Amino acid sequence: MTREELTDKFLLSNSNNYVLQLVTGFGKTKLALQKIEQWYSNDYKILIVVPFNVLIDTWKEEIHKWKYDYILPSITFTTYVSLPKYCDSFKQWDVVILDEGHHTSERCRNAMKYLRTSHMIVLSATLKRDILQYYTYVWKTEIFKVDAKAAIESNVLPDPKIILITMNLNNTNVNCIIEKNIKKNTNPATIKTIGYAEKWKYKGYKGPLRILCTQQQYYNDISGLIEWYKQKGMGNAIMKNMWLHKAGERLKWLASQKESVIKSILKQLKNYRILTFCQSIEQSETLGCPCVNSKIGTENLERFNSKKIKHIAAISMLDEGQNLIDCKIGLFQMINSSQRVVTQRVGRELRHKEPVLIFPYWVNTREEEIINELIKDYNPELITKILPESNIKNFI
């Protein structure tokens, strides 16, 4: 479905409540504003809910961009954290917009039992099944859905080039450390250091332990622990949380091992406009390019969009609601297992007319599984696999 076809169908619909599950870059905000214009009258009361306060300014910019400034006096902005304050059986809203609606937590849903509104529009690129069912059955929403694959096939979004840089974990150099039973206040003098081959001798050891190992041995160790928690997690909430936590730690560790490769890519592509997705604030700061994170804020995003700088690094602050201007390349140091996060990050780049997505990843790891699932939605003729030592500029 083209953007024009969807817009026409949406604006002709007579439903009161909607879910717009549209890929990033399709124009969810504009569609919501167009629908509000159909319903609007001077005494309207509009509530717009966003995940973070910084996105309020983004909404105001979009309202001004599309010449809907006249509705601003009717709008109240809030966040999902504060949403329960606005769910009052004595308060009536004419329209409620839930931006990035995947943030509708169970707490929000409980509060929304008392939300009174004539119209509702939920915006998101990806909604989990339980949240989509909630809006479908509780709020009787009409659903409009377009994913990245459909948007590309309809020429609404460009078909990106995807460069996969395949790497192998080293199993020769002992340059990693597995820590067992070590806490912040552990006395360093009490920590026993051993080689990986001695690991099984200390299987029942309760004291603080440091095991010297290779990258591959570190990965094998944490993967074994994840599998153990996964098996114990069947019906056990605590073990399930530990399993998910360790799985997240594994992906962050894999991302941290790419630092030299990421720096090399950034050096080779110094004349291109690039957004690098990192795994932590600390990691983003080591890359030597301006950062956008909760510690620094969005000043560097403004510098990037005004074309004063060409490179920025981010962790999660650019996943939602932020627009990038003329960003050709998305470089993924962190490969997230969440489909929602990956979809949103890829969507940041699909706003460029000739986007390039670069994924350095470790083969025979969880990263490779995620990559294989990701590329199913994209044109295989535009996907290239190369080695880290290749001249990446030849494939842009």
Q: Which residues have CB under 8 Å from 197's CB, separation 6+?
A: none
Q: Which of 384, 396, 387, 394 is nearest to 261 (CA)?
A: 387
Q: Which residues have CB under 8 Å from 162's CB, separation 6+?
A: 356, 357, 358, 359, 375, 378, 382, 383, 384
Write down the pLDDT at residue 106: 94
What's the predicted TM-score (pTM) here? 0.79
Write down the pLDDT at residue 322: 65
Lowest mean pLDDT among 187-196, 198-207, 343-352: 343-352
Write down the pLDDT at residue 298: 78
Domains delineated in the chain: 3-148 (3.40.50.300), 161-168+258-395 (3.40.50.300), 176-256 (no CATH)
At 294, the pLDDT band (50, 70, 90 cuts) reads: confident
Residue 236 and residue 244: Cα distance in Å, rounded? 12
Write down the pLDDT at residue 271: 94
At 158, the pLDDT band (50, 70, 90 cuts) reads: confident
Lowest mean pLDDT among 2-16, 147-161, 217-231: 147-161
Cβ proximity of 367 and 251 under 8 Å: yes
Residue 2 and residue 154: Cα distance in Å, rounded? 6
Query: Is residue 4 over pLDDT 60?
Result: yes
Residue 330 and residue 85: Cα distance in Å, rounded? 38
Answer with the residue of higher pLDDT: 77 or 300. 77
What's the average model confidence in pLDDT over 204-225? 95
Amino acid at 281: I
Q: Which long-range contacts (CB under 8 A, 24 or more apart) does 179-182 make?
A: 179/208, 179/209, 179/210, 179/211, 180/205, 180/208, 180/209, 180/210, 180/211, 181/206, 181/207, 181/208, 181/209, 182/208, 182/209, 182/210
